[in-house]
Structure formats: C-alpha cells, structure tokens
Amino acid sequence: MNTQNIFVVGLNDFNRARLSRLRGAEHYNFLGVIEPAEVYDTEIFPIEAMVERAGTTLAAFDGHIDAIVGYMDFPVSTMLPLLCERFHTRTPSLESLLKCEHKYWSRLVQREVIGNYIPRFTAFDPFDDDALTVIGQAGLYFPFFIKPIKSSGSRLGFRIDSPEDFTAAIAQLREQIGLISAPFNFILDQAEVPDEVRAVDGGFCMAEEIIGGWQCTVEGYVHEGQVNPYGIVDSLRYPRVLSFLCYHYPSRLPEPIQAKMCELTTTVMRHIGFDNAAFNVEFFWDEVQNRIWLLEINTRISQSHCDLFEKVDGVSHQQVTVDLALGRRPDMPHRAGEFPVAGKFFYRVFFTDAIVSAVPNDAALAALCDDFPGTMIELQTVPGQRLSELPEQDSYSYALAYIWMGADSSDALEENYRRLAERLNFEFTDVAG
C-alpha cells in the first residue's frame, strides 16, 4: 500500500503519539497544518487568516493530499469544510455542520424531528437592554441557562437564578463574546443559511430551560448516509456545580436508555444530512422523570475520550476520523483493550483567581504513573501563571491537570483517582475566592 498523506489541523505531540498507534498507521504520513498553540492555547481566533495560511501550506505541499482532519471544536471544526472543499478531500457540507454547531439553528432542526426531547429555548441579543423581557416572552422563567450561539467548551455558559445573576452574566458576555462572534460570523458568511438563522448571528445568545440528570455522550459517525453510534461515555460532575469531575467509559446507564439515545442520535443526524464524518451528541437522562434530553451536537470526536477508547476497546477513536476521511468504513475494535473501564479526571480548584507558585515535578508525576499503571497526567498550568489566564475554562473553576486512568472496575477507578489526587501537590499565592 502506498503511504497516504493525512494533514491534521493543530497536530501536537500528544495526538501524534496516539495517531501512531492506529490500525494501518504504518501506511500513514501525519502532517501538521496550523501550529497547535493557535488552536489549543488561545481564545483569539483570526479564522480568516488561519484558513488562508492553512491553504497556502497545503497548496505548497509537494505530494498528494489524501485527507485533512481535526479533533478540535471551534475554530478547527468549522475550518475543515472550507479546506477540504478547496483540496477535494472528504468532508460533510458546511451547512450540515452549522446545523449542529449554530446552537439556535441546531435547536430548530432538532425540534422538527425530536421535539419532545429538547428544552424550551429562545435566542436573544446580549446587548439588548430588554433581553430579560424577551426571554420571559418566550416562556422561560428562573432558573434558566444562557450561553453564546457558538461557544467552545463550557466558556461563557451560566445558570441564571435571578435578575442579579443575569446582569452579572450579561456583563461578561458583552465583554468577551466578540472573541467568538467575529470569527464565527466569517464562517456563517461562507454558508447558505436561512433568513431566520442569518438574523441570529454569532453575537447572539441562547436561553434554555434548565435540564439535567445523568449526562453522557454518544460517540458516532455517518458513513455514506448510515448513522453508526459506537460508544457512550458518562460525564460526571462535581457535587452542586457545573464543573466536570470525570468522563467514564463504558457508560453505566441502563441499556434501554442507551438504546433510546442511540435511536434519537440516528434520527437527528440523518435529518440534518451530516455525512462521512464523526460526531458526538450529548444527552441527559432525568432518572426521576425517566426523561431524556438532547443537550448539544458536536461535529468531531471528543479528544478527551481518545484514551478511554484506547484503554477499553484497544484503539483511540481517532481511528474513526481517519478512516472516514480516507473514504473507508471505520475499523474500530470492541472491548479489546487492556482495561474493562477507563476515566479521564479533571483535577480542579474552585478559586476566583490565584497565581500558581508550584506544580508537581517530573519525578513526582513519573512516580504516580508507575504506581498506577496505564495512567497519563497532563498538567494544564505552570509556575507563575495566573489561573484567570488559562484558556477554555468553565465559569466556576480551573482545571489544573487532566488524568487518564484505567481499572478493573468503576469502584477501583474512583479509588485509584482519589489516592492519586491526594499526592498531586500544587501551591498558590494571591488566592481569591
């Protein structure tokens, strides 16, 4: 087999190592386009310039471009259709991608086929002084949740319990939403968008009825029009806050609930027309009411889940993205990994702000990985860094480290993490909150 050239937007060493372990990787040449720091370590996305520079890099390549892929949310996910169309590689249409990523448009198309499984919602302009009235006129009352039409991670998402909460959240949105709205509007300008959606651009926000329960993510793909969910990962949060504690695979949800989520996923993705790419859909199961809610759709695999699939199934589900980009049905094994269960844990502090004065050194991290086989630890901060300068954080805490672990059971996994976390030593000065 000839070597196939696969360009990865924002390729870093961490992902290069994972990709090298995929099935058939000996026949792939993975090449980077756009420096990792431009998509991982910043909240400023000059997307028009990034697309132009990526296009220049690809055009200068002296060889055949077999695929262009990425594993990040905005801006990478929205750049891919533009680059793939230009260089004639496989990609879903920009419009089908935006039906997932534009939160208002996505709710509109979801309502057409699975309306009983989505919350009440409305769009509003955060710069409108009467926005709270607009939300009330849509039938939404305290408490409700607000977030930008296009966001990244949990950034600028807020639970609103009172007018005071709304005022405080709006102040942050007005200050920061432009970081996303301007580049996202550039993408919208490249697509054929209905007038109803065009009027709700990246500067708008969503208000939604509060939904909750047991949160999970259905990972799946579409190949030649056939929707294939292949794994469900549970998302566990810290008590009484919105911050994630752990992703756990496989899911511990009841089998009938998992089956229904896969059915809903198939229905909505087929309706959207998304094709020949990976995706994931986030759900809640309200156990008390026995009700399923669709939270949101993402147009890529979750990077956070890569090691979980590798530990449990035997290969990272980056396999899915690469196979689809090369025009093949994905070749994912099932339960062929080293561990029956796996988790990604988020080691957090719940300060308003602080300066990091010390982090665990390499020797301490290596000792932890030796004591807990299969463990990987990725620090998210360095000495001297102010926590408020960390990118891609939620509105309630700061993630200082990501820890991937495998175990023989869920109980063992949780106990191992507890023991490991007790030995992670960070130090801070100028602590607020």
| Start-to-end CA span in the chain (Å) | 58
pLDDT band of residue 403 (cuts 50, 70, 90) is very high
pLDDT at 394: 79
| 310, two tokens | 């590798």
CB 283 within 8 Å of CB 292: yes
| Per-residue model confidence as pLDDT tens digits over 91-132 | 999 999 999 999 999 999 999 999 999 999 999 999 999 999
Cα 248 → chain centroid: 15
Which of 11-20, 118-127, 272-281 has the lowest average pLDDT? 11-20
Residues above pLDDT 90, as percent of the chain = 88
Is the four-CA dihedral 126, 132, 136, 142 of positive or negative sign? positive
> Mutual orientation of helices 94-101 and 255-272 as an angle, nearest 10°?
130
pTM, full prediction: 0.94
| 91, two tokens | 């990609």
Task: Name the maximum alpha-carbon separation found in the chain.
Answer: 63
| Per-residue model confidence as pLDDT tens digits over 220-238 | 999 999 999 999 999 999 8
pLDDT at 153: 63
Residues above pLDDT 70, as percent of the chain = 99
* Cβ partners under 8 Å of residue 163, min gap 6: 132
pLDDT at 154: 66
CA 57 to CA 245: how far, in whole Å? 39
pLDDT at 391: 81
| Per-residue model confidence as pLDDT tens digits over 304-318 | 999 999 999 999 999
Which of 4-13, 154-163, 412-421 has the lowest average pLDDT? 154-163
* Cβ partners under 8 Å of residue 208, min gap 6: 119, 120, 121, 140, 144, 145, 146, 147
Strand, helix or coil for residue 194: coil
Which of 22-26, 181-185, 251-255, 395-399 has the lowest average pLDDT? 395-399
pLDDT at 41: 67
Q: Is the pLDDT of residue 361 over 70?
A: yes
pLDDT band of residue 392 (cuts 50, 70, 90) is confident
Strand, helix or coil for residue 227: strand
Mean pLDDT in residue range 186-200:
96
Q: Is the pLDDT of residue 83 over 90?
A: yes
Mean pLDDT in residue range 335-362:
96
Mean pLDDT in residue range 334-359:
96
CB 156 within 8 Å of CB 172: yes
| 127, two tokens | 């710069």
Mean pLDDT of the chain: 95
Domains and their CATH numbers in the chain: 4-91 (no CATH), 120-209 (3.30.1490.20), 214-432 (3.30.470.20)
**Angular region, 384: left φ>0, alpha ψ -120 to 50, beta rest:** left
| Per-residue model confidence as pLDDT tens digits over 126-167 | 999 999 999 999 999 999 999 999 976 667 889 999 999 999
Could you identify the residue written with the tokens 């820890």?
403
pLDDT at 432: 79
